[in-house]
Amino acid sequence: MKNTFLTLLAIFTSISMANAQATGGFEGPSAVQNPTSTVAEALNSSDESYVSLTGKIVNSLGDEKYTFKDETGEVVVEIDDEDWRGVKVTPENTITINGEVDKEMFEPTKIDVDSIVVK
């Protein structure tokens, strides 16, 4: 019984140590740029640039499209129904949207939103 206990203890200790090592990672400077943080910057960014914008949705344009506004300007954002994830937003709510710049030929720049956080 004592040997079984010691064997199990050794196994659990090994597993715990392996898990602790598996959750490690690099801590230090990154070559990855911070996401664009204003509408003005987003409108001047390249296609598929990551953005994190804080502001307000001021109206619905239909077909999952909305006008998003911050202190630097306005941009159309596209929020798929499933990306709302139960969040309710009014024009009075300040939100942060995370997504990508979507530039298409002959179309105005828009933001394809992946997530929304109410502030």
pLDDT tier at 43, thresholds 50, 70, 90: very high
The CATH number corresponding to 39-118 among 2.40.50.200, 2.60.120.1060, 1.10.10.10, 1.20.1070.10 equals: 2.40.50.200
Residue-wise pLDDT for 80-94, tens only, equals 999 999 999 999 999
pTM, to two decimals: 0.71
Mean pLDDT of the 4-25 span? 60
For 86: left if phi > 0, alpha if psi spans -120 to 50, otherwise beta; the answer is left
Mean pLDDT of the 38-48 span? 95
Taking a C-beta distance cutoff of 8 angstroms, is the pair 53, 97 a contact?
yes
Identify each DSSP E strand in 19-88 by its residue range. Answer: 50-62, 65-70, 73-78
Question: 3-state DSSP call for residue 80?
Answer: coil
The domain spans of the chain are 39-118
Mean pLDDT of the 14-30 span? 61
